[in-house]
Structure 1
Amino acid sequence: MNLFDLRNPFVVLIVLGSLIILIYSSWGIYAVSERSRELNQYEQYRDYWQSLNLRDYAYVIEEGCMFGSITSATVSSGEHNFVKYENQLFGGSTTIDDLFDQAEQAIKESHKLELRFNKDFRFPEKMRVDWSKDIIDDECFYEVTEFRPNEL
């Protein structure tokens, strides 16, 4: 009896099963390394943002999880002032630091993440998060526009 006779269905199942395990293991390693790279980049960008120590700036943020909102924010001497647009049921007080917190959580826990950082100031500028592949309507988005430092 030849142990590796490919005419034997048992041997074929073992070979195919081993290939499937190898493929899924490679995919898992890639997924973990990709998240690690994203988390490393996130940490560098957060450190850069904190090193700027901006105390006066303004921005508009559009955000939503089921409901959407658009808010204009001004920061003067580190104090936030938010102006919500009418008919707004959700959000309205998200800071840049809150966006970093959401980005960190999304990198660690989300099913799918699209994340773009501002090229000049390196804060999370646009983020789309699908928290779970099995839950409908759990997606969230954040987008910062009209960022103006030293505006005040």
Structure 2
Amino acid sequence: MLDTKNPYSVFLGMSFIVVLLLSFYTAYFWVTNTHTISEVKAQREHWKATQPASFSYRIESGCMEVNETIVVVESGKETYYAKNNKPETIGSLFELAERAVLTADTLHIRYDKTHGFPTMIQIDWSRAVYDDECVFEVKDFKTIPR
């Protein structure tokens, strides 16, 4: 029984409750963020092994503001056109996914079945913060014939 007149007893009781709540939060975090660094790295290796020499795609991103980047890769040389000064590329999406695996509260990633690049990344960096969600989508991926 908790002796509410003894400050040490109250402190220990409150500490127990805090530890219990943190353990539930941690368990919930691992359930909602099921992606792993090894999964992202494996998909990146798949992308490196299967990416064509020349291709194009478009990335639409929304993270407090909407951005669109058009990327054209010809014989390994990358050119991009972005509406603002923060262009996104498939490479930057892999880096973002690795960071999100470690720090985001909620993360959902879909990958291209043929080439392995992320086709969609949805991130909620913190459930406690309103309006910090981000979405990145790769669209119109096309191989450019030589």
- Pick the TM interval, shorter chain: 0.7 to 0.9
What is the root-mean-square deviation in Å for CA atoms of aligned residues? Answer: 2.9
Superposition deviation, residue 83 in structure 1: 2.7
Aligned 8 A contact 1:68 1:90 in 2? no
Question: Following superposition of structure 1 onto structure 2, how do residues 1-152 of structure 1 map, counting pairs within 5 Å?
Answer: 21=20, 25=23, 28=26, 31-32=29-30, 38-84=36-82, 88-89=83-84, 91=86, 93-151=87-145
Q: TM-score, normalization: structure 1? A: 0.70
Number of residue pairs the alignment of both structures matches:
133
Q: Aligned partners of 1:67, 1:31: CA distance in 2, in Å? A: 26
Q: Aligned partners of 2:141, 2:99: CA distance in 1, in Å? A: 23
Q: 1:27 to 1:131 in 2, by over 3 A?
A: closer
Q: Aligned partners of 2:126, 2:28: CA distance in 1, in Å? A: 19
Q: 1:41 to 1:24 in 2, by over 3 A?
A: same
Superposition deviation, residue 43 in structure 1: 1.9
Based on CA coordinates, which of the two structures has the bigger radius of gyration? 1
Percent identity, aligned pairs only, is 27
Superposition deviation, residue 146 in structure 1: 0.7
Q: Aligned partners of 1:77, 1:43: CA distance in 2, in Å? A: 24
Q: 1:83 to 1:89 in 2, by over 3 A?
A: closer
Superposition deviation, residue 151 in structure 1: 4.3
Give CA deviations for 1:28-61 in whole Å, capped at 9, x if unaligned.
4575488575333222111111122533110011
**Please, which runs of 5 or more residues in structure 2 have no aligned partner?**
3-12
Aligned 8 A contact 1:69 1:90 in 2? no
Superposition deviation, residue 121 in structure 1: 0.9
Q: Aligned partners of 1:27, 1:133: CA distance in 2, in Å? A: 11
